[in-house]
Structure formats: C-alpha cells, structure tokens
C-alpha cells in the first residue's frame, strides 16, 4: 500500500539562457501513488500560494509518447525507471527521507530556456534536414502487399519508436545526438520508400547535427542505457554505413 513520504527536492532554477542558475531546496510530503510530474504540480501550487515563482518544466501528453518531460532526475535522464519517461515515473520509486536532484538536460545542443525547460528545437532542425520522404507513394496500399521483409519491417518500427526526447544527447558525455539521428535514418533506410533519398538524407542529417553543436559518438552506449524507448545502438552502425556509402557515391 502506498504511503506518504517526506523528500527533499533540489531543483535547478535559472531565469534565462544567459542567467546564472542555482539549486533551490524544497521539502515535500507526498503520497507514493502520485506521479513525478503531479508532485511538481503540487509544489508549484504551493509556490504560487506563497507568492513565489513556480518552477518551469516541459510536459504535454503525460503518457510517455511526446518526449516533452525532459528532466534529469538523480543523475539519470527521465529518472531511475528503465524504459520510461519522466511522466511515467511515480514517487513510489523514492524512499522516505531521500533527496531528489532535478536538473534540465545538460547539452550544448539544448540551451536552457528557464529552470528545467530547454530548447529542443535542434532535433526538429535535424529532421527538417532530411528526415522525410518527398517521393509520391500514392494511396495507402494493403500492408501485406508491400514487399518488405518481416525483419526489416520490425527493425524500422523499432527505430520509429524514438520520440525525440533528447535523453540520448543528455546522457552522452560528448553530447552526441547520434542515437536520435540514427533512429530517424534507420526507420526510412530500411524501407523501400526511403531508399530514393537515402544518400542525401544521411549526409544532410549528420551535417546538421554537427552544425548545431552536438558532439561525436565514442560508443560508450550511455545513450542506449538511458533511452526511454530502448532504441538500440545498432542503428548508429547502420547510420555509419549509410553515411560512408553516400560519401563513396560522391
């Protein structure tokens, strides 16, 4: 049975991208059945009633789909739960008397907007660079009529599970976005509809990633370990093959 616990929150507060930030401490008594974001909502209600500035943080669907809940909790992107986003994290994961440290993503590619909210539009720009199919494929045929092997279809669907939350770059010591980019390249490269622009896509998305200040991949696999959708680093190998193939064609 869930019970009330007392925790101490150490929350990163920062008024703007160029402002100097600092941790502020908030004691909380909360029931373990409450979700992590609901706990922050309750804290914000308290701060507003006290005439203080509420904590700014991103959220949207609260169903583990949108990837907006980009919080670093106790040194882990999205918190200690495996294969889950912050909005799927519940206070029963924490113990009575525990101190919980909450930070924004720490990556040059994701500058802080305010408090716990970061600008993740860099991922949108990478997608705009090549994460699309412009060929006219006509109407939607019956799925069983599309000549795609079961293995490739499954791999493409696994890659498409990426929600673009940014946990991979936040977890990487180099701030690399390779897991995200490779997932988006893979989901198209594995399908016949995506082969038309395959070479241009790989080069354009990698170039945009580098331009936006993300670091290089050194295969520490921290991205894979912290990804809430369990995206495999095998996609990075596929991206490398696609990129090298495109360069050889040049």
Closest CA to 43 of 9, 6, 68, 82: 9
User: From the CA atom positions of the chain, what is the Rg in Å?
Assistant: 20
76: helix, strand or coil: strand
Instruction: In whole angstroms, give the CA distance from residue 58 to residue 247.
Output: 39
CB 169 within 8 Å of CB 105: yes
Which of the four pLDDT bands, split at 50, 70 and 90, describes residue 133? Answer: confident
Average pLDDT over residues 82-105: 96
The reported pTM is 0.91
Which segments of 25-163 does DSSP mark as H helices, in order? 36-49, 121-130, 150-160
pLDDT in tens, 216-226: 999 999 999 99
Strand pairing category for 112-114 and 22-31: unpaired
Closest C-alpha to 94, from 167, 35, 13, 171: 35
Please list, in sequence order, all residues whose beta carbon lies within 8 angstroms of the beta carbon of residue 1, skipping any fewer than 6 positions away: none
Cβ neighbours of residue 59 under 8 Å, at least 6 residues apart? Answer: 37, 68, 69, 87
Q: Which burial class, exposed, middle or buried, applies to 223 when counting CB atoms under 10 A from its CB (0-12, 13-18, 19+)?
A: buried
Tell whether the model's pLDDT for residue 143 goes beyond 70. no
Percent of the chain topping pLDDT 70: 97
87 burial via Cβ count (<10 Å: 0-12, 13-18, 19+) = buried
Question: At 132, is the pLDDT very low, low, confident or very high (cuts 50, 70, 90)?
Answer: confident
For residues 177 and 109, is the Cβ–Cβ distance under 8 A? yes
pLDDT confidence band for 135 (50 / 70 / 90): low
**Does residue 195 register a pLDDT over 90?**
no
């Amino acid at each position: 049975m869930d019970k009330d616990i007392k925790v101490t929150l150490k929350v990163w507060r920062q008024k703007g991208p160029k402002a100097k930030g600092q941790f502020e401490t908030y004691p909380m008594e909360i029931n373990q059945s409450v979700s992590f974001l609901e706990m922050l909502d309750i804290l914000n209600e308290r701060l507003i009633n006290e005439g203080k500035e509420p904590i700014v943080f991103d959220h949207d669907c609260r169903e583990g789909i949108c990837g907006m809940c980009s919080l670093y909790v106790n040194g882990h992107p999205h918190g200690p739960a495996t294969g889950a986003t912050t909005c799927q994290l519940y206070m029963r994961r924490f113990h009575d008397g525990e101190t919980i440290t909450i930070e924004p993503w720490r990556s040059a590619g994701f500058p802080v907007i305010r408090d716990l909210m970061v600008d993740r539009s860099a991922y949108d720009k990478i997608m705009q660079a090549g994460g699309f199919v412009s060929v006219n494929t006509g109407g939607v045929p019956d799925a069983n009529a599309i000549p795609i092997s079961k293995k490739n279809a499954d791999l493409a669907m696994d890659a498409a599970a990426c929600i673009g939350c940014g946990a991979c770059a936040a977890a990487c010591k180099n701030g690399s976005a390779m897991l995200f980019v490779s997932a988006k390249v893979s989901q198209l490269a594995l399908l016949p509809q995506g082969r038309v622009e395959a070479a241009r896509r790989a080069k354009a998305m990698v170039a945009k990633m580098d331009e936006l200040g993300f670091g290089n991949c050194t295969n520490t696999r921290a991205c894979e370990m912290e990804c809430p959708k369990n995206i495999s680093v095998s996609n990075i190998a596929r991206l490398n093959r696609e990129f090298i193939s495109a360069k050889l064609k040049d």
